[in-house]
Amino acid sequence: MQHPEIYTGVIQPFNGYSFSGINKKQMSGSIMLTPLGFEGDEQAEKSVHGGVDRAVCHYPREHYEIWQRLYPEQADAFNAPAFGENVSTLGLTEHDVYIGDIYRWDETLIQVTQPRSPCYKLNAQFNIEDFSLKVQESGRCGWLYRVIAQGQIREGHRLNLLSRNSDISIAEAMSIAFHMPFDEEQYHRLLSASGLSASWSRTIQRRLERKVIESFNLRLFGHHDK
């Protein structure tokens, strides 16, 4: 895996929506990583972005080449950090990373908490009406971390896996949550994954209680009917 690139951004007006922190810039030198994310990084909608379980967003850079081929008219837009990620790497994908994985990154310790759940702002970001759905269907979503030990991260430091704490990869977690029909056994298995975020735990527990998979339309398209 290559050295990670780090990106941060501030809240600003965004493509017909009120505000967003999706547009970020690459950082160099040394940067502080706290339990709420990188110093200077901002999120507009705190109910669905950021917080201790979603402090850092990681998106594999190799996915951009695939999106460029699939959407040649928007090819120039598909470059890091267009997905609003904080961390970009080559050599680490959703199949290599597991719920609960703990990484040493320079002075810090970070833990994988959940896949990224694509939202409708990706549609506006790339001017593709159903792009968020395509991201979800493809499994090229990226993932999120909590920070369990804060500190400085200096340029050139790799992520080093310290411990694997579940048998559910990010790819499998997405398959269970986004692609499979209702499956109590798999939901209990996902809930038992050490390190799973509180928001994903709530969603899966709600499915078990209600015996139904919630609609994704509000998250993917910004409204209920699609």
Q: Residue 12's pLDDT is what?
A: 78
SS3 assignment, position 83: coil
84 torsion bin: left (phi>0), alpha (psi -120 to 50), beta (else): left
- Is the model's pLDDT at 19 over the cut of 70? no
What confidence tier does 225 reach under pLDDT thresholds 50, 70, 90? low
- Is the model's pLDDT at 148 over the cut of 80? yes
**Average pLDDT, integer, range 142-158:** 96
- Is the model's pLDDT at 47 over the cut of 80? no
Q: Is the model more confident about 63 or about 47?
A: 63
Q: Residue 46's pLDDT is what?
A: 55
Q: Enumerate the domain spans of the chain.
A: 5-221
pTM to 2 decimal places:
0.94
pLDDT-wise least confident of 38-52, 133-147, 155-169, 198-212: 38-52
SS3 assignment, position 137: helix
Q: Residue 48's pLDDT is what?
A: 56
**Nearest partner of 217 among 205, 226, 208, judged by Cα:** 226
What confidence tier does 44 reach under pLDDT thresholds 50, 70, 90? low
The tokens describing 96, both together, are 């290599």
φ and ψ at 58, to 5 degrees?
Answer: -120, 130
**Average pLDDT, integer, range 114-120:** 96
- Is the model's pLDDT at 169 over the cut of 70? yes
Q: Is the model more confident about 22 or about 36?
A: 36
Fold classification of 5-221 is M1 Pyruvate Kinase; Domain 3 (2.40.33)
- Looking up tokens 């790819």 gives 171
What confidence tier does 11 reach under pLDDT thresholds 50, 70, 90? confident
Q: Residue 43's pLDDT is what?
A: 75
